[in-house]
Structure 1
Amino acid sequence: MKICVTGAAGFIGSHLCERLLQIKDVEVIGIDGLIDPGLMPVKQRNLSQLLSNPRFHFHQVDLRQANLKKLLEDVQVVYHLAALPGVRSSWGDHFQAYVDHNILATQILLEAVRELSLEKFIYISTSSVYGERVGQVAEDAIPAPLSPYGVSKLTGEYLCKVYQANYGLPLVILRYFTVYGPRQRSDMAFYRFIDGILHHRPVQIYGDGLQTRDFTFVKDCVEGTIAVLQADGVIGETINIGGKERTSIIEVIVLIEKLLNEKAILEFKEKSKGDPRNTWADIAKAQTLLKYNPISSLQTGLERQIADFCGL
């Protein structure tokens, strides 16, 4: 089976590629534009083991400019992870980049695959499309994103649905909830917390720190994502991929302090525009359709992320 992964050099994308290559007779076409020079060392590290595998073929290309029909020749499944992330950075003049990479690039990819005989097209979305919710949120909740980033990802979902309706695209949408773990980007919360505490620098907290998140360990997230390959009855479905524990930001920092045996220097900042107070995934559909069962506790996941951070 030949599978394409866009965003293959990213945090989650590289973990997904590694897991796919553990499956016998799977060949992975990895696409990544490596568009942020500041992330180049991180992405090169993410790719290092993948590039040694003869069943992994990497293409450093921008989706908006690539000869996608040639790259996607004989591909049976597409995982579309490539996107510009970040809620706080999606406001103002920065939004044009989100339009380019999250909306336009998705439409160009959809045009390239619409005549292919795909088995599945898996679009990776985000809990940011839900906006502010009370309690667990299921997939049938009406989306109400709070940030331009969330709007860009929801627009990508709607584009995919348009191609499904008109061209029979075998679409599956996965909405990830706050993924963490080894190789997390340096702008993401857990990385910043670990880095700040280890180096005795102020740890910035946006808001009061009592906001909660449904934290999802990357290995669990990838297992749910992989399960789509063999799952029946998932075409046309939108499925939440959440974690095992919902915890506040302050509680996370206390746990990291304990694991590092260091004290954090907290610096409270104004609440970020576009960040919901709480996120909490209803994963009943994933449990039914994908047999999804997140098993990593927050402590175990943080131990693994800290070990990776420290090069252990």
Structure 2
Amino acid sequence: MRYLITGTAGFIGFHLARRLLDDGHFVTGFDGLTPYYDVRLKERRHAILSRSNGFRPVIGMLEDRDALEKAAEVGEPDVIVHLAAQAGVRYSLENPKAYVDSNLIGSWNMLELAKAVQPKHLLLASTSSIYGANEKIPFAETDRADEPMTLYAATKKSGELMAHSYAHLHGIPTTAFRFFTVYGPWGRPDMALFKFVDSILNDRPIEIYGEGRMSRDFTYIDDLVEGIVRLMAAVPTEATRIEGIDTLSRHAPFRVVNIGGGQPVELMQFVETVEAAIGKPAIREMLPMQQGDVPRTFAAPDLLDALTGFKPSISVQEGVKRFVDWYRAEMTSA
């Protein structure tokens, strides 16, 4: 199979592309290598992917329609996976324009490309952040998600809505998956685990927001990638409808699916797990809840399980240990 993946120099796109290349597929990777965080980390990810003869990188911004069209010409994709986006909840408070440019205009360009290419399946990344401060738990895909707490969440919800309209108007089979606090090796430096490990190893205090009274449904990267790969085969058609829990539209080949294990972890338990994996206590700086933060995330994994026979299961203890081992091997010598 031939895949076009946007965001292959990013955390999730890198892991998905590597999995597909290992499975013998061809991958065209599209990425803008933006300086939101250290570009050298992005370049190292792309360098690893480029060791495979099946990988073809195209460097460009989502806002550049010509660059996207070039990627499609290079890759002639059967399947498109749109992962590239301006990420980060807190950064959306500092630079909202980056989210409008990438997540709205860029995603619209991606949908226009899909209209022209007509892939067998279009898959796009959304986020658990769109559930906002939902008090009903666990978060099910059928819950209302109309009260985003940040512009980041609003742009991702808008991407889902735009994708539904294109699925309806142009018959593009589309699955939007909502991520729940993904972590693991080669992760972003602005993510909590990366910052915690870096700070503890360097005797700096870690910042614990909400004074630790938060919980997250952490998803290890290998579990996330497995969920995406399995969803690729679950093309949304009426024949695949799961009665009672499905989000399959009555008007379009479009579905939304959570990728999360449904096992939230308290923040302080997460900190203790990181300390245990490192073998060193953290210097803890307790801070109030940040603007835009939500008290909890908690995935209902039932639809993913029903469609694919899979749900994330790698424990936080195991996942954090793998990250710490990677960090010591790759980042302390970088």
TM-score with structure 2 setting the length: 0.89
Q: Which amino acid aligns with 1:138?
A: A
In the alignment, what sits opposite 1:159?
A: 162
Aligned to 2:307: 289
Q: Supply the distance in 2 between the matched residues of 1:251 and 1:88 (Cα, whole angstroms).
A: 23
Could you say what secondary structure the match of 2:218 adopts? strand
Moved more, 240-249 or 173-182: 240-249
Cα distance, 1:233 vs. partner? 4.0
Aligned to 2:59: 60
User: Which residue pairs with 1:200 in the alignment?
Assistant: 203
Structure-1 residue corresponding to 2:85: 83
SS at match of 1:109: helix
Q: CA deviation at 1:188?
A: 0.4
| Offset, 1:250 | 0.9
Which segments of 5 or more consecutive residues in structure 1 lack a partner in the other structure?
none
State the TM-score, normalized to the length of structure 1: 0.96
State yes or no: 1:277 paired with 2:295.
Answer: yes
Deviations 1:261-305 (A, max 9, x none): 211111122311111101100010000102223231111000100
Q: How does 1:177-188 map to 2 (within 5 A)?
A: 177-188=180-191
Tell me the equivalent position of 2:30: 31
Residue equivalent to 1:250: 268
Supply the distance in 2 between the matched residues of 1:220 and 1:21 (Cα, whole angstroms): 17
CA distance 1:89–1:38, shift in 2 (3 Å): closer
Query: Residue 245 of structure 1: SS of its match in structure 2?
Result: coil
Aligned equivalents of 1:243 and 1:307: distance in 2?
23
Q: What is aligned with 2:278?
A: 260
d(CA) in 2 for partners of 1:101, 1:171: 19
2:121 corresponding residue in structure 1: 120
Question: How many residues end up aligned between the 2 structures?
Answer: 310
Is this contact kept in 1: 2:120–2:173, CA < 8 A?
yes
Deviation beyond 3 Å, 4+ runs, structure 1: 232-235
1:172 match: 175
Q: CA RMSD in A?
A: 1.4
**Alignment partners' CA distance in 2, 1:205 and 1:172:** 34
Q: Which amino acid aligns with 2:20?
A: L
Between the aligned partners of 2:173 and 2:292, the Cα distance in structure 1 is: 32
Alpha carbons 1:84, 1:101 under 8 Å: kept: yes
Instruction: Give secondary structure in 1 for the equivalent of 2:216.
Output: strand
2:106 counterpart of 1:105 = yes
Matched, 1:69 2:80: no
Aligned partner letter, 1:20: L
**Aligned pairs (5 A) from 1:216-227:** 216-227=219-230
How far apart are the structure 2 equivalents of 1:279 and 1:170?
A: 28
Q: Does 1:141 align with 2:159?
A: no
Alignment partners' CA distance in 1, 2:164 and 2:208: 37
SS in 2 for 1:52: coil
Q: Is 2:82 the partner of 1:51?
A: no
Distance 1:201 1:250 in 2: 17
Cα distance change on mapping 1:241 and 1:38 into 2, 3 Å: closer
Corresponding residue for 1:8?
8
CA deviations 1:101-155 (Å, max 9, x no partner) are 1110000111122122310110100000111123201001111211111001111
Structure 1 residue 169, shift from structure 2 partner: 1.6
Question: Is the CA contact 1:213–1:279 (under 8 Å) kept in the aligned structure 2?
Answer: yes
Q: For 1:23 and 1:66, how far apart are their aligned partners in 2? A: 30
Q: Distance in 2 between matches of 1:53 and 1:208?
A: 45
Q: Secondary structure at the match of 1:310?
A: helix
Partner of 1:20: 20
Greater CA deviation, 145-154 or 67-76? 67-76
Q: CA deviation at 1:7?
A: 0.5
Q: Distance in 2 between matches of 1:258 and 1:8?
A: 32
Q: Is the 8 A contact 2:262 2:299 kept in 1?
A: no
Residue type of the alignment partner of 2:324: I
Q: For residues 38 and 214 of structure 1, do their structure 2 counterparts lie closer, same or farther at Cα, with a shift above 3 Å needed? A: closer
C-alpha distance after superposition, 1:51-110 (max 9, x if no partner): 010100001111212422332132111100000111111125x11110001110000111
Aligned to 1:240: 258
Query: Cα distance, 1:244 vs. partner?
Result: 6.0
What is the CA–CA distance in structure 1 between the aligned matches of 2:260 and 2:318, rounded to whole Å? 16
Q: CA deviation at 1:248?
A: 1.2
**Cα gap change, 1:278 to 1:38, in 2 (>3 Å):** closer
- SS of 2:286's equivalent in the other structure is strand
Deviations 1:208-258 (A, max 9, x none): 112000000000000000112222546411000003631111111111111
